[in-house]
Amino acid sequence: YLHDSERWKKLTMFRTSRLTDRNTEEDHSRETGFTVFENLRAQPRAWIVNELLELNSDQIRTTLRTSRLPNGQRFDPSLMAVTERSKFIPSRHTRFDTGYQDVKFNEISDGVIDITATTMHGGFLILSEAHYPGWKVRIGNSYQPIQRVNIAHQGVKLAPGQHHVIFEFSPMSLYAGYCLSLFGVALIVVLGLSRRNPKTTLTTSHE
């Protein structure tokens, strides 16, 4: 499998273990050999495809494992993506005309990925970020639905033209954490003030 020169490029070999090569390079009988390969078909952090195919979950796993679609056609992830077919909607095959496409990153920070995407005839923008609850995508000033593609990635449909696309990670657990933190701070302040200003009650008894 790794001898496929169109898919893999051998970069280097080395030997190491958990107990050696800490401060200096050293040889030890317990070291294990490793080989580093470059995947020549690896996709960039984000790209635009011209085809989106809807398949069932088993067909998607087989397609990604064998690089072949159910009809025998070669699956090229640089040109197409697969998404799971809805049980209630008939299978669809979305195709966009080929043309100029470009993806530029403006910012990659904690929870924000800012992209400028340009496509002549429209397409589907794929982000190689794990599809996970809490991700939102905004194109211009409008939020759009994120679609799960290729099992693990996320994507969004693009109309023809240039678009400012922002992926944001804002899960509900994050807001819950903020609320609990604010509640804790407020409780500490209230308890601190109550201790600084205790109410003293004097009782006088007469015999």
For residue 89, give the amino acid letter. Answer: I
Q: What pLDDT shows up at residue 25?
A: 84
Each residue of 105-140: pLDDT tens digit?
999 998 999 999 999 999 999 999 999 999 999 999
Residue 186: exposure state from Cβ atoms within 10 A (0-12, 13-18, ≥19): exposed
- 63 contact partners, CB below 8 Å, separation of at least 6: 55, 69, 70, 75, 82
pLDDT of 98 over the 90 cut:
no
pLDDT of 206 over the 70 cut:
no
pLDDT of 31 over the 70 cut:
yes
Beta-strand ranges (E) seen in the chain are: 8-16, 32-39, 46-49, 51-55, 80-84, 93-95, 101-109, 112-119, 123-127, 135-139, 142-144, 147-149, 153-158, 161-169
Residue 43: exposure state from Cβ atoms within 10 A (0-12, 13-18, ≥19): middle
Q: What pLDDT shows up at residue 96?
A: 92
Residue 7: which pLDDT band, with cuts at 50, 70 and 90? Answer: confident
What is the residue whose two structure tokens read 């490029």? 9
Residue among 148, 154, 158 nearest 86 (CA): 148
Q: What pLDDT shows up at residue 188?
A: 76
Residue 36: which pLDDT band, with cuts at 50, 70 and 90? Answer: very high
Q: What pLDDT shows up at residue 204?
A: 53
Is pLDDT larger for residue 207 or for residue 182? 182
Each residue of 137-187: pLDDT tens digit?
999 999 999 999 999 999 999 999 999 999 999 865 555 565 667 667 776
Each residue of 12-21: pLDDT tens digit?
999 999 888 8
As a whole number of angstroms, the distance between CA 30 and CA 68 comes to 41
Residue among 98, 90, 70, 100 nearest 82 (CA): 70
Q: What pLDDT shows up at residue 87?
A: 61
The upper half-sphere exposure of residue 190, i.e. CA atoms within 13 Å in the direction of its Cβ, equals: 6
Residue 23: which pLDDT band, with cuts at 50, 70 and 90? Answer: confident
Each residue of 61-97: pLDDT tens digit?
999 999 999 999 999 999 999 999 876 556 678 899 9
Q: What pLDDT shows up at residue 41?
A: 84
Q: What pLDDT shows up at residue 198?
A: 59
What is the residue whose two structure tokens read 């006088």? 204
For residue 102, give the amino acid letter. Answer: D
DSSP state of 63: H
- Residue-wise DSSP of 83-119: EEPPSSS---EEE-----EEEEEEEEETTEEEEEEEE
